[in-house]
A and B are shown apart, each in its own frame.
Chain A
Amino acid sequence: MGSGLWSTDVYDAAARFRAATGTSAFAHSDSGATSTHPALDPRGVTVRESRDCAEHPRSLAIAVLFDVTGSMRDVPRGLQAKLPQLLGLLLRKGYAEDPQVMFGAIGDATCDRAPLQVGQFESDNRMDDDLSRILLEGGGGGQMTESYELAMYFMARHVAADCFERRGKRGYLFLIGDEMAYPAVKRGEARERIGDGLEADIPLADLLAELTRKWDTYYILPAGASHAGNAQVLRFWRGLLGQNVIELADLDAVAETIALAVGLGEDMISLDDGLADLADIGSEAGSAVSRALATIGSSPGTVTVSLPLDDLDGPDGNVRL
């Protein structure tokens, strides 16, 4: 039985009253910051960890990284406002047993000051602190590519998660954006931004193989971004991720969409059940989520990553991977 809309846990109430300092969810950006918050700086990070503990014995790593470049317009701010709901959604409906969520942001390593920002995996609302620290740089170039590959590289090489290390179970990675990745992880950027010495650039296809061994990877293209619905962008990501490309018509539904994608992937629900759950909790997101997940939900439990595809050298000028 619930106890109303807002949780009434006595044990963290005092700390939360004391912590409620009146800072905005967009605190870091609104403070006039122009660089990555130290807590989110990937430079020198050996690994971000998602670990089991007594309280969360079967941790499941879930990472959400979103493009914060100018082409995304107001979407990142909307995401910063909406994503705090994610953990509650996952837990309330039992879509994931012990979710540990990390937030991060993606920019353009060729020209931005904060091309990669990565938080910590958290099992409680401390992750919201990371969300508020994300710098909404609004940079990027005009070439419809951002440094998604750098984020994918970080996720492939710099996360240690018990779900895949101890249980051989993939985590979930959601990339939210409206542009394409660069064709390879560049040595120079890996050195400068993360501090890694690579022998050579890593082609995207190689990276993807490595990434998807650990992460069930999704790309979400939200409405409201400059390239929403862009065929070239969609083709690019479908080529990499197959049906795990989600067009999201309603940004308000982003947390619900992610939660449901996890629930489907975990085989905890069918799409119909998930939509009924959304209705139960009074979410208005049902129809948007339904459209967004139509493909994925039609084959629950068979979420797969198809790679590599060969259709990337099309007339739009994409580089063959």
Chain B
Amino acid sequence: MSSLAVPVSEEDHAQGSPGAAVTLLEYGDYQCPYCGQAYPIIKEVQAAMGLKLRFVFRNFPLTQAHPYAELAAEAAESAAVDGKFWEMHDALYENQAMISHDTMMEIARKLGLNLSRFVEDIRARKFMNHVRKDFMGGVKSGVNGTPCFFINGKRHDRPWDYETLSNSLASFDE
């Protein structure tokens, strides 16, 4: 079974306490429809598990299949500079069907990001290397498509419907 090659660190985007018993890590692509399906399921799991769960998101854009995936990943990283990573992450998934450059600008405006900095980050591809680093770390960990989940560092090779995922998470909380 594959395991996480790059341990969770302070550089990661995480929701929940570092002391949580269970860490669910997703390698995801903002334009991947399956990741879009997983998005509300993760919200549900988070609500049910509360403080017992920490959720970490890393970028895994499949750029050849999804033309906006890379741009979206860089946009979310740029939003993180203003402390709005999760707001951007959520908005991208909630508006996945109409993902585009304009949609991302609109979200950035609504979130109150520093727009001139955001535009410059996107233009200069400031977070390209960051996203690539996430991607290659994922490849080395055995990420085999998106979404790919790791629970406490072990790849989750089972389905990720609410029931299966929450049962798997619960089995680590013992």
B is bound to A:
no
- Which residues of A come within 8 Å of B, CB atoms? none
- Which residues of B come within 8 Å of A, CB atoms? none
